[in-house]
């Protein structure tokens, strides 16, 4: 399909190359805007076509002889009289930047240096584009082949087009200028056979029609006929003849490419060690009508799609998908199907995409980092998720129990959500939001393992932030406990997070402002003074230590100091991801300092203590358990992820059956903390039973 560009903006109804004409052009669903730049006497980049100001302004003389201040004093006739000015390129960038980033709009900048050799123009425009962060959205063109060569020498990654009247002339200059596209006159598509000699895009521009003071004609070109001549783009004076008004039905969604990775045709997974490929490791959802559009024509891409069928082993066995996606591959990825054409998703599905360069060269990591300038993913905005019928009664019943409780701190409590693509996290958030609406909560506690942590550090961080943003949307204080999967150290992952990265992901802009944390540590506390309650969050897994599970010496020192400093008569809850004792942990024979931690907490339950520790609450085991045999209640919370396998669990624990599309798909609690009666009531939502612990 031939893409439509606005020639000098919408220049039939508004004066050419003005902010007014560009703003009007952006109202339409165009591919790009073409404009012209020159240099003032004091070296400023301005947008104007003619070397003389006579035709378009109320002034006389050559652009090169005016300073910017003098040019700004000139006026251009607009709809309301002589009101418009010659814009600077910086002003145009500022106007178009949001449209470029949101819609992928491209800007074709013609360097008007054929008749006037503006020295240093190439350096200035490249620097300005970089300063504005718009380098990926620009195509540079010129009738001066030396200028096109110069741009490529200064930055080989930029997109360029060679301008000439005839297509044959453009082709003759393509190789020597290393131009990425051919910009010829639409009336001189003089040799169809040349399409077999070049694969470069052909962007045809208007013939020399009269311009202001005579309005340019909006010649109605037959786009289908132009496509037969292998024209890929047409730059027209009247884009409104061809393009509908832009409707923001689809919103740009970010894509995160990883260099040296490719898609395995056999199973749809990703593989490393492919220097000439880059791939999205996160499997993303594509609602029907979503599109993938190539912005950088040096590349081609191929798509793998997946359906929403969940492999049973992910639910009914101890198993984690290495792609962090509960989907089934459609076996449609083919290395022979790389294309530059826009890809439209005809029905709802999931996907990942792989890119390669047309020249076959290796792709550096710096290219993967600019994914938004290479490939655009637009998807329809999704309606707010609604409560599903299978959860309606549970929402009402849970909210009734929470409302009935008085004098309590009311906390949403969950563990091990293991958020992945196409898991049932959306149901969890919707149900939690509904309960909070009917019975307002005081806070949210997540006991760790927000994601599977099987993807590299960057991708794990992205998915973790998505999960945290959903919980933050409740508008309640959020306490996050670090889990063993949260460091992306799992399943042989060779790219885990550093402790600094993990702290940044879990804590930055997440913890309540009043949370008290020592710098560069994972442990902290949060007070609810109106209930005389202090909550301690502990760190229980360090992949660099031996054994990995346990509590550092300095953390135990902090716990003792914090308990000692807790106001008299207060109550304390302690949250940990992992259990403190190895007999409660299927995978461990030893837990570093675990016994010492329990003994320390027991000390602060006696009559001599200034405060009282109510309980130690943890996740990790993916089962429910209450242990009262060690001088303090130790409570395990089941797995929020829909998972059911009773093996690999500690003795005397309970693993509840789970079923998809049934209330048991869910598992989380509302914890009611009564600091006057020293009771903890766990109101279960979904699989399992309510529990009350007398402390």
Annotated catalytic sites, by residue? 7, 49
CA 333 – CA 328 distance, rounded (Å): 13
Of the candidates 367, 285, 296, 288, which has an alpha carbon nearest to the alpha carbon of residue 326?
Answer: 285
How crowded is residue 593: how many other Cβ atoms within 10 Å of its Cβ? 16
Would you give the DSSP letter of residue 654? B
> Exposed, middle or buried by CB within 10 Å (0-12, 13-18, 19+), for 168?
middle
Cβ atoms of 634 and 579 within 8 Å: the answer is yes
CA 575 – CA 521 distance, rounded (Å): 15
Distance of CA 376 to the CA centre of its chain: 12
Tokens 């999960």 found at? 467
Cβ atoms of 432 and 668 within 8 Å: the answer is yes
Would you give the DSSP letter of residue 136? G
Residues 6+ away with beta carbon under 8 Å from 438? 395, 396, 399, 403
Residues 6+ away with beta carbon under 8 Å from 127? none
Q: Which two tokens stand for residue 260?
A: 């040296």
Q: What is the dihedral of CA 412, 418, 423, 426, to 10 degrees?
A: 30
Inter-CA distances, 354 with 64, 330, 362, 368, Å: 47, 16, 14, 11
Looking at 333-399, which runs of residues are DSSP E strands? Answer: 343-344, 349-357, 375-380
Residues 6+ away with beta carbon under 8 Å from 173? 145, 148, 162, 164, 179
- 398 forms beta bridges with none
β-pairing, 667-674 vs 679-686, is antiparallel
CA 260 – CA 467 distance, rounded (Å): 27
CA 313 – CA 645 distance, rounded (Å): 10
């Amino acid at each position: 399909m031939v893409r439509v560009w606005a020639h000098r903006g919408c220049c039939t109804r508004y004066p050419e190359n003005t902010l007014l004409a560009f703003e009007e052009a952006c109202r339409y669903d165009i591919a790009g805007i073409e404009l012209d730049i020159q240099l003032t006497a004091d070296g400023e980049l301005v947008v104007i076509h003619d070397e003389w100001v006579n035709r378009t302004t109320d002034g006389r003389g050559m652009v090169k002889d005016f300073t910017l201040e003098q040019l700004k004093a000139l006026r251009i006739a607009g709809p309301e009289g002589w009101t418009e000015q010659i814009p600077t390129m910086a002003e145009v960038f500022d106007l178009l930047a949001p449209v470029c980033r949101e819609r992928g709009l491209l800007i074709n900048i013609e360097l008007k240096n054929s008749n006037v050799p503006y020295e240093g123009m190439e350096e200035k425009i490249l620097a300005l584009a970089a300063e504005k962060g718009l380098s990926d959205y620009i195509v540079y063109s010129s009738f001066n082949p030396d200028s096109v060569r110069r741009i490529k020498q200064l930055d080989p990654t930029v997109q360029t087009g060679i301008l000439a009247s005839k297509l044959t002339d453009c082709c003759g200059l393509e190789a020597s200028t290393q131009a990425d596209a051919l910009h010829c006159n639409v009336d001189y598509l003089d040799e169809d056979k040349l399409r077999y000699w070049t694969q470069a895009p052909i962007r045809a521009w208007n013939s020399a029609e009269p311009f202001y003071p005579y309005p340019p004609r909006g010649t109605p070109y037959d786009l289908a006929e132009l496509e037969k001549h292998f024209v890929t783009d047409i730059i027209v004076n009247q884009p409104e003849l061809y393009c509908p008004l832009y409707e923001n039905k689809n919103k740009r969604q970010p894509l995160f490419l990883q260099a040296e990775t490719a898609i395995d045709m056999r199973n749809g997974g990703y593989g490393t060690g492919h220097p000439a490929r880059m791939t999205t490791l996160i499997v993303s959802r594509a609602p029907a009508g979503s599109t993938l559009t190539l912005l950088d024509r040096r590349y081609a891409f191929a798509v793998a799609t997946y359906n929403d069928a969940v492999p049973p082993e992910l639910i009914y066995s101890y198993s984690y998908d290495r792609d962090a996606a509960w989907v089934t591959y459609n076996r449609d990825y083919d290395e022979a199907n790389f294309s530059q054409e826009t890809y439209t998703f005809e029905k709802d599905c999931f996907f990942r995409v792989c890119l390669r360069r047309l020249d076959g060269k290796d792709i550096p990591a710096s290219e993967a980092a600019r994914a938004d300038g290479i490939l655009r993913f637009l998807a329809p905005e999704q309606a707010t998720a609604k409560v599903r019928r299978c959860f309606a009664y549970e929402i009402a019943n849970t909210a009734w129990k929470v409302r009935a409780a008085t004098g309590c701190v009311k906390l949403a409590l969950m563990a091990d959500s293991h958020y992945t693509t196409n898991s049932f996290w959306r149901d969890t958030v919707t149900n939690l939001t509904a309960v909070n609406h009917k019975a307002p909560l005081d806070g949210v506690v997540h006991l760790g393992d927000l994601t599977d942590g099987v993807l590299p550090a960057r991708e794990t961080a992205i998915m973790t932030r998505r999960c945290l943003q959903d919980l933050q949307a409740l508008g309640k204080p959020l306490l996050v406990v670090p889990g063993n999967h949260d460091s992306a150290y799992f399943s042989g992952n060779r790219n885990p997070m550093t402790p600094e990265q993990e702290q940044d992901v879990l804590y930055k802009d997440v913890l309540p402002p009043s949370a008290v944390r020592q710098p560069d540590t994972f442990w902290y506390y949060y007070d609810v003074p109106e209930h005389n309650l202090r909550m301690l969050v502990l760190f229980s897994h360090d992949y660099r230590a031996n054994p990995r599970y346990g509590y550092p010496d300095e953390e135990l020192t902090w716990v003792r100091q914090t308990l000692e400093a807790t106001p008299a008569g207060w109550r304390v809850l302690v949250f940990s991801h992992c259990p403190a004792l190895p007999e409660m942990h299927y995978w461990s024979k030893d837990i570093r300092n675990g016994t010492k931690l329990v003994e320390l907490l027991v000390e602060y339950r006696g009559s001599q203590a200034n405060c009282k520790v109510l309980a130690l609450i943890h996740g990790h085991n993916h089962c429910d358990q209450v242990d009262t045999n060690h001088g303090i209640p130790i409570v395990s919370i089941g797995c929020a992820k829909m998972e059911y396998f009773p093996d690999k669990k500690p003795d005397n624990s309970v693993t509840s059956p789970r079923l998809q599309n049934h209330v048991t798909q869910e598992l989380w609690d509302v914890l009611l903390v009564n600091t006057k009666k020293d009771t903890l009531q766990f109101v279960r939502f979904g699989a399992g039973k309510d529990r009350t612990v007398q402390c």
